[in-house]
Structure 1
Amino acid sequence: MGNYSKALEFYEKSLQIKEKALPPNHPDLAISYGNIGQVYNRMGDYSKALEFYEKAHQIFEKALPSNHSHLATSYNNIGLVYNNMGDYSKALEFYEKAHQIKEKALPPNHPDLASSYNNIGQVYKNMGDYSKALEFYEKSLKIREKALPSNHPNLATSYNNIGQVYNNMGDYSKALEFYEKSHKIYEKALPPNHPSLAISKHDIGLTYENMREYSKASQFYQRAVDIAQISLPSNHPHLQLYRKRLQDVKKKM
């Protein structure tokens, strides 16, 4: 629901019980550490996120066989934080480790494989390798279109990601087409103040700004700011970005 401080409070209560009741290398403890890591990652506190994800990973490496799906998730989580921190070579390294496990363990149309392709695509996008990014995003989308219901948030994520690549490539009409597909799903599937909706509105705003339609851009940025002020901590990088974009586009107007 995007209420990260509440999520942390309950995950920490859970962890306290597990730390007393379980041996220090129990996989259930690792799951708790992973959950806390995920909240810090969403809050934009990447060093804290890494700390908890690595605690989880150390337990999984000791306790589980090398091709276990939890280990793949763990590699994936660490890759995600490195991606958010801008360390793309590290991110790719961990995402590819996760992908190798998933390719062996899962059928070829499994949604977890789609997530894996998606993550690798995102790193290539961040590195500016747009043709590679599209290749992986489209692999992900094909699986999701087969495996998921038509209003599933992960499908929206896929459309959104492809939209971002087209936006970066300067193909703004294509970008808008995919962003709007994504946005329709998010509006149906998520609560009205969910952070993912703010991202979606920001991305549409950015495309309109690139098209020099500044008043439209300003409307979408404003909505992104409004949602983020309710759902994110005041120092979150996303909120700061939305505010800056809104100010910049108002100057252009």
Structure 2
Amino acid sequence: IDLAARKPNQLEIAIDHNNIGSVLDDQGKYAEALKSYEQALEIKLSHLPPHHPSLASTYSNIGLIHRKMGDCSTALSFYHKTLEIQQKSLPSNHSSLVVTHGKLAIALEDLHRYEEAIQHAEKAVSIAIDAYGSSHPEVEKRQQYLNKLKKEI
């Protein structure tokens, strides 16, 4: 069998676009990273079920790029899509939910929507305790951020 002659399937190409987007993000080339993530999303949308966790990951990546580019409203929209998929496809104490609630809190803080930010930060703490246990460093990190938000009100 000639493995070199094997053509990649579309989902492998989507993974490549995602990886390229990540490298471009690390280089600060946000517009190019966004394009690469959007190409990955387009492929995934046509080949995966609508609530596949891989879609959530790509939506989250796109949201992060929008936030880094200063468009927190668009980032928020992508983070909400991420959360919707995760809530349908992951256990309620999955660590990815901690991250997504944290990202939502940060985007809401950037938009000066502190009450909503606190709600998501509290949810991140609660899920982190359930996922990791109360003495885990991730719980401490999330609690510190929540305390910071509460002081901003």
Task: Please tell me the TM-score bracket, short chain as reference.
Answer: 0.7 to 0.9
Q: What is the deviation of 1:205?
A: 4.8
Alignment of 1:129-140 (within 5 A): 129-140=71-82
Distance in 1 (CA, whole Å) between partners of 2:14 and 2:121 is 29
Q: Which of the two has higher C-alpha Rg?
A: 1
Within the candidate set 72, 97, 107, 2:14 is matched to 72
Contact 1:187 1:197 in 2 (8 A): yes
1:95 aligns with 2:37: yes
Higher relative contact order (CA 8 A, sep 6+): 2
Distance in 1 (CA, whole Å) between partners of 2:50 and 2:34 is 21
Alignment of 1:15-30 (within 5 A): none
Contact 1:95 1:116 in 2 (8 A): yes
What TM-score do the two structures reach when normalised by structure 2? 0.82
Moved over 4 A (4+): 196-199
Paired amino acid for 1:65: P
Q: Which residue in 2 is equivalent to 1:4?
A: none
What TM-score do the two structures reach when normalised by structure 1? 0.52
Within the candidate set 143, 165, 169, 2:85 is matched to 143
Q: What is the deviation of 1:81?
A: 3.4
Q: What is the deviation of 1:198?
A: 6.1
1:173 aligns with 2:115: yes
- Relative to structure 1, the CA distance from residue 72 to residue 204 in structure 2 (aligned partners, 3 Å threshold; closer, same or farther) is same
Percent identical among aligned pairs is 35
User: Gapped runs of 5+ residues in structure 1?
Assistant: 1-22, 27-61, 213-253
User: Gapped runs of 5+ residues in structure 2?
Assistant: none
The alignment yields a C-alpha RMSD, in angstroms, of 2.6
Alignment of 1:169-248 (within 5 A): 169-190=111-132, 192-193=136-137, 196-197=138-139, 200-201=142-143, 203-208=145-150, 211=152
SS at match of 2:101: helix
- Relative to structure 1, the CA distance from residue 166 to residue 108 in structure 2 (aligned partners, 3 Å threshold; closer, same or farther) is same
Q: Which residue in 2 is equivalent to 1:117?
A: 59
